[in-house]
Structure 1
Amino acid sequence: MKLNWIISLVVVVMGMQGCRSIPVEKQLDKILLRADQVGAGQMPAEPEKVRSPFMAWDVQRPTFPTRQDTVWPAENIQTKLDQLAAQGGGTLVLKGHHHTGRITLRSHINLQLDAGSVLEFESEIEDFLPVVFTRNEGVELYSLGACIYANGAENIAVTGWGKVIGPGDGSIRSKTMTHDVIEKIVDSNTPVERRIYDGKTADFIFPPALIAPINCKKVWIEGVSLERTVFWNIVPTYCEDVVIRGVRIQSIGIPRGDGIDIESCNRVLVEYCTLNTGDDCIAVKAGRGYDGLRVNRPSENIVVRYCFSEKGHGGFTIGSETAGMAKQVYVHDCVFGKTNVGIRFKTRRPRGGGGSAMRFERIRMRDVESALRWDMLGQAQHVGNQANRDFEVQKNALTPRFSNIQIKDIYIDAAKDCIKIEGIPESVLDDVRIDRVFGRGDRYLSVKDAKNIKIKNSVFVCKDTSVSTTNVSGLIQDRVRVMTEAP
């Protein structure tokens, strides 16, 4: 409440005509959180109530049956989990250094990693067989699933202060499909139950994420550290009521090493996480191409707060697989460090999707390539000629769209591009409101294929102060100062 009061006061001060006002740079620098105030090291014991513009959620820690068991390295984790599940659930505490194949969680079980414990996964395909139902890069299929997997479970948790380590060198890594984009490999017309990739039906597999529950309710992931993933790290899919808090993720140097990817979920809270990733730090997704349209499940009612995206491709990203759409997303009070992009909105013409009803507030960016980035075309290596805006595409079921986005109270310490927008001619970016931004960078503003873009109450200090536009209407700059040197 105190922070909201301060911000309301700032609005009043800025709106007063003829009165001396505090420079927006100093206003924002004072009220926005810093790196040492967010991330896993700052996590309180219990989460605060969620106050989103789109929903209210009184987050409650899950409870489990009081029975507890301990598993030591010489014992089989899955056997212990199944025994506990047969008794109605409880807490399974891991101690020591474990080597295991895939683990499947059951309802009403908390898998707790004791401080100092290590859960390290094996590296061969046979350690993850039989194949299980999963979604890989937004496409449903049967393959290795996840190192920690659950399907249709309720009230499950992975907690504690131990470490989860993904597979090392072995057949999983050597046989991972990398030779093409997934929609050209998995035919959307093939029934899902026949999309089997076990290393035998085809000479490749789709790799396991580290933690990926699917079709689950009441999921709680807290405190653990993750490293050496083969693929994305934490990926709840088709889940409801998910809380991810206080995790540390290290996947620098791992291609497709996303930190947290939210796939077609409803009611998700991500808070106090620290991310150093080989791809996007936190991303929202909702299915890919025609397979995503078939499923048609959005990601909605998502809150991300008090996170530190230290290094990665994107501090926070929507896309690029969002055929089911992303909506009612609220990101606030975060810090993005040396990420390629601060806030990124991605679509691709052959993948569909996009989103609406999104709000971003009180975010500090320290050293980014692009601070606010709309990238709706992609690269030719992934989508061929469709990455060129001059390549004419008629509107169709997969035409992406973004609209109704509000961004305010943003401090950009250093960027090459402060605001860079690349929409698509057949579906221009629509209705973006940017308010109270201080940006320091090489270039101020580039806009292609957009309408109804409003920037106000902002200051930018850039080497290139020009505004570049292509196919833009309704661009409004209200009380915006752009200069080459700070006053």
Structure 2
Amino acid sequence: MKLKSFSIFLVIGALFINSCSVSQKPKYGKSTGKYQNLEFDMNLVQEPIIPNNEVKITDFGAVNGGEVLCTKAFADAIAALTKKGGGKVIVPAGVWLTGPIILKSNIEIFASAGALIRFSTNKDLYPIIETSFEGLNTWRCISPIYGKNLENVALTGTGVWDGSGGAWRAVKKSKLTANEWKKLVASGGVLDETKENWYPSEQFKLGGNGADQNVRFDLHTKEEFLAIRDFLRPVMVSIQNSKNVMFDGPVFQNSPAWCLHPLMVENLIVRNITVRNPWYSQNGDGIDVESCKNVIVENSSFDVGDDAICIKSGKDKDGRDRGVPCENLIIRNNIVYHGHGGVTVGSEMSSGVKNMHVSNCTFMGTDVGLRFKSTRGRGGVVENIFIKDIWMTDIPSHAISFNLYYGGKSIEETLAEGGGPTNTKLMPVTEETPQFKNIKIKNVVINGATQAVFLQGLPEMNLENIELSDLQINADKGFTIVDANGVNIHNVKMVSKDPTAFDIFNAKNVTLRNIEFNSTSAEAVKINGSVSEKIELISNSKMDFKKQTKLGNSVPKVAVKF
């Protein structure tokens, strides 16, 4: 009798739980509490609240097959739900052609398994608008997916969003095979005088003349920008000045420029997504999180043509005037295949970046693994960055890179051109001086890289308080440390081809402890620079720094302590 009563209780309880799970609406809602075991204080990221209403785009005339434009069907579906306070737009399995989709508050677009949403290549459908691109205030074509001043927005499901980026991007001959190049040229477009660069149109080619990293500073009016509209390729997904935004599940691919660009978003969740761009796609970033607060990027994969997961906060004066830092970020459990950087900060970081946690990420063949970049003129402060449990293989340039002389090219491109000259002249410190400080990186495996670690600050603003620990390294070259103050490196096992394991120039307050490397050279550690000081090299039972360190003539005798 007792067993029967208990069984009835279990059945009733299960029915009650199931009933609650079915009727629990909205599907997403508030998250309360804080993240545990985090290096800084951060509340759980609030999920969007989506009302319990659903429509299909086919209810509003959408036609499957990829031949009939479904822009109006998307707009009408969103409008119908908006009248009800919001809800879910369902994109069924099939191929759907559309122009720009304008998001509204309290809207979720669910791309069903088997759904492919392709954006039209007809550029007449994409009017130019005032927006931000590469951290600057400018004019660009409206994004295929666009929203501004919104609250509660989600893109979910497991379908595919395709930006038809091949119709927008220029391509370098050097990045294609001979057959691929021949096919591209035969498809239309125009070549430059050298026959080494292909452009989608003459207007695009015209627009590129005089551009500084894709932005024309010499143009000011809408009419002037309209004359080069083809050149003004948009980011694929642009959500600006909004709250409670989520990307969960879909594939985003083939973007005209950057793929995902949340700008000034508070409470951003990115999880379980796949981002794919051709490896040769110029400015084909995966996701650029810019001036956002309370962000989590997790359980996702990226295979792209530029930086994969990139953190930004505006460029130069436009960024400083905005004054909105990127802060409180968790980036974890992600995989990056091709990309110019696995996780990147900058180079547009003029409003600052602070409080960022990165963990459990794998980078396979990315040009750079962990990449920090800026240059004079940016200003801004990057601080309180905590990175751990990173696995890298086959990195063509620097596995860990801090480059304060960034000039717009990938490090692999710079190295291929013979390296980048740096200006070591001391400059005045102003609001335009970028600063990187308080950064800890630990438990990193580097299995193949041209160089393991490259740390380069500015003479007038050194990298400050950089701690690297528990590194396992197999690379062609070891460490370069230039213009840095407060570098603590410990628990390192390194195998490198270059006999110089550590090359140090004008560094202060540097400690090397519990270091093992395979070099037997008397110049395994080279120290140069007249302002080098307080460098402590702590030997151990397996190696003696005194026997393997070479001091330059300009280094003060008291600068190094063994």
State the match for 1:10 in structure 2: none
Aligned-partner residue type, residue 216 of structure 2: I
User: Is the Cα contact below 8 Å between 1:410 and 1:437 reproduced in 2?
Assistant: yes
What is the rounded CA distance, in whole Å, between the counterparts of 1:79 and 1:184 in structure 2? 34
User: Is the Cα contact below 8 Å between 2:168 and 2:233 reproduced in 1?
Assistant: no
Residue 208 of structure 1, aligned match among 227, 230, 234: 234
What is the rounded CA distance, in whole Å, between the counterparts of 1:478 and 1:107 in structure 2? 54
Query: Aligned pair count?
Result: 433
Q: Deviations over 1:154-202 (max 9, x none)?
A: 0000011110111355468545554422597237xx9xxx663785255
Structure 1's 91 and 411: CA in aligned 2 closer, same or farther, altered over 3 A? same
What is the rounded CA distance, in whole Å, between the counterparts of 1:229 and 1:318 in structure 2? 21
State the match for 1:355 in structure 2: 382
- Alignment of 1:255 onto 2:287: no
Aligned-partner residue type, residue 55 of structure 1: D
State the match for 1:85 in structure 2: 82
What is the rounded CA distance, in whole Å, between the counterparts of 1:280 and 1:111 in structure 2? 26
Aligned-partner residue type, residue 275 of structure 2: I
For residue 203 of structure 1, report the CA deviation from its aligned partner.
5.6
State the match for 1:238 in structure 2: 264
Residue 143 of structure 2, aligned match among 128, 141, 146: 146
Which is worse superposed, 459-468 or 105-114? Answer: 459-468
What is the rounded CA distance, in whole Å, between the counterparts of 2:506 and 2:221 in structure 1? 42
Structure 1's 344 and 142: CA in aligned 2 closer, same or farther, altered over 3 A? same
- Alignment of 1:481 onto 2:478: no
User: Is the Cα contact below 8 Å between 1:318 and 1:354 reproduced in 2?
Assistant: no
Structure 1's 327 and 60: CA in aligned 2 closer, same or farther, altered over 3 A? closer
Alignment of 1:159-238 (within 5 A): 159-170=156-167, 174=201, 175=203, 177-179=207-209, 180-181=211-212, 185-186=216-217, 196=222, 200-202=226-228, 205-238=231-264
State the match for 1:42 in structure 2: none
State the match for 2:350 in structure 1: 323
State the match for 1:44 in structure 2: none
Structure 1, gaps ≥5 residues long: 1-46
Aligned-partner residue type, residue 80 of structure 2: Q
Residue 108 of structure 2, aligned match among 91, 107, 110: 110
Q: Deviations over 1:230-284 (max 9, x none)?
A: 1001110011000011111111221110001100000110001110010011010
For residue 58 of structure 1, report the CA deviation from its aligned partner.
3.0
What is the rounded CA distance, in whole Å, between the counterparts of 2:264 and 2:491 in structure 1? 40
What is the rounded CA distance, in whole Å, between the counterparts of 1:61 and 1:290 in structure 2? 33
Other structure's SS at 2:264 match: coil
User: Is the Cα contact below 8 Å between 2:496 and 2:518 reproduced in 1?
Assistant: yes
Q: Deviations over 1:442-486 (max 9, x none)?
A: 111111111110101121111224221221111110111122499
State the match for 2:402 in structure 1: 374
What is the rounded CA distance, in whole Å, between the counterparts of 1:63 and 1:437 in structure 2? 42
What is the rounded CA distance, in whole Å, between the counterparts of 1:256 and 1:267 in structure 2? 25
Percent identity at matched positions? 27
Structure 2, gaps ≥5 residues long: 1-30, 64-69, 170-199, 415-419, 521-541, 544-562
Aligned-partner residue type, residue 261 of structure 2: V
State the match for 1:12 in structure 2: none
Other structure's SS at 1:324 match: coil
State the match for 1:158 in structure 2: 155
Alignment of 1:386-405 (within 5 A): 388-390=422-424, 393-405=427-439
User: Is the Cα contact below 8 Å between 2:113 and 2:159 reproduced in 1?
Assistant: yes
For residue 391 of structure 1, report the CA deviation from its aligned partner.
5.1
Alignment of 1:329-478 (within 5 A): 329-368=356-395, 369-379=397-407, 388-390=422-424, 393-466=427-500, 467-478=502-513
For residue 365 of structure 1, report the CA deviation from its aligned partner.
0.8
For residue 61 of structure 1, report the CA deviation from its aligned partner.
4.4
What is the rounded CA distance, in whole Å, between the counterparts of 2:119 and 2:426 in structure 1? 47
Q: Deviations over 1:279-334 (max 9, x none)?
A: 01101000001111111110000110000011111011000001001110110111
Which is worse superposed, 327-336 or 119-128? Answer: 119-128
Other structure's SS at 2:305 match: coil
Aligned-partner residue type, residue 483 of structure 2: D
What is the rounded CA distance, in whole Å, between the counterparts of 1:280 and 1:178 in structure 2? 22
Structure 1's 362 and 49: CA in aligned 2 closer, same or farther, altered over 3 A? farther
Structure 1's 68 and 287: CA in aligned 2 closer, same or farther, altered over 3 A? same
Higher strand share: 1
State the match for 2:535 in structure 1: none
Structure 1's 482 and 328: CA in aligned 2 closer, same or farther, altered over 3 A? same
Alignment of 1:246-285 (within 5 A): 246-251=272-277, 252-285=279-312
State the match for 2:49 in structure 1: 63
Aligned-partner residue type, residue 518 of structure 2: M
State the match for 1:124 in structure 2: 122
User: Is the Cα contact below 8 Å between 1:147 and 1:166 reproduced in 2?
Assistant: yes
State the match for 2:327 in structure 1: 300
Structure 1's 336 and 380: CA in aligned 2 closer, same or farther, altered over 3 A? closer
State the match for 1:97 in structure 2: 95
Higher relative contact order (CA 8 A, sep 6+): 1
User: Is the Cα contact below 8 Å between 1:380 and 1:387 reproduced in 2?
Assistant: no
Other structure's SS at 1:269 match: strand
What is the rounded CA distance, in whole Å, between the counterparts of 2:165 and 2:446 in structure 1? 38
Q: Deviations over 1:394-428 (max 9, x none)?
A: 32221111000001111111111111112111211
What is the rounded CA distance, in whole Å, between the counterparts of 2:221 and 2:385 in structure 1? 34
What is the rounded CA distance, in whole Å, between the counterparts of 1:197 and 1:371 in structure 2? 45
Other structure's SS at 1:293 match: helix
Q: Deviations over 1:203-243 (max 9, x none)?
A: 65432111110001000101111111110011100110000
User: Is the Cα contact below 8 Å between 1:146 and 1:209 reproduced in 2?
Assistant: yes
Other structure's SS at 2:236 match: strand
Residue 313 of structure 1, aligned match among 330, 333, 340: 340
Q: Deviations over 1:138-163 (max 9, x none)?
A: 01234223211110010000011110
What is the rounded CA distance, in whole Å, between the counterparts of 1:354 and 1:182 in structure 2? 23
What is the rounded CA distance, in whole Å, between the counterparts of 1:332 and 1:473 in structure 2? 29
Aligned-partner residue type, residue 154 of structure 1: E
Residue 288 of structure 1, aligned match among 315, 318, 343: 315
Aligned-partner residue type, residue 268 of structure 2: V
Other structure's SS at 1:243 match: strand
Other structure's SS at 1:215 match: strand
Structure 1's 49 and 277: CA in aligned 2 closer, same or farther, altered over 3 A? farther
What is the rounded CA distance, in whole Å, between the counterparts of 2:221 and 2:41 in structure 1? 37
Other structure's SS at 2:473 match: strand
Q: Deviations over 1:346-375 (max 9, x none)?
A: 002133334011000111111212111111
RMSD, aligned α-carbons: 2.6
Structure 1's 224 and 150: CA in aligned 2 closer, same or farther, altered over 3 A? same
What is the rounded CA distance, in whole Å, between the counterparts of 2:259 and 2:89 in structure 1? 22
For the pair shown, the structure with the greater C-alpha radius of gyration is 2
User: Is the Cα contact below 8 Å between 1:221 and 1:245 reproduced in 2?
Assistant: yes
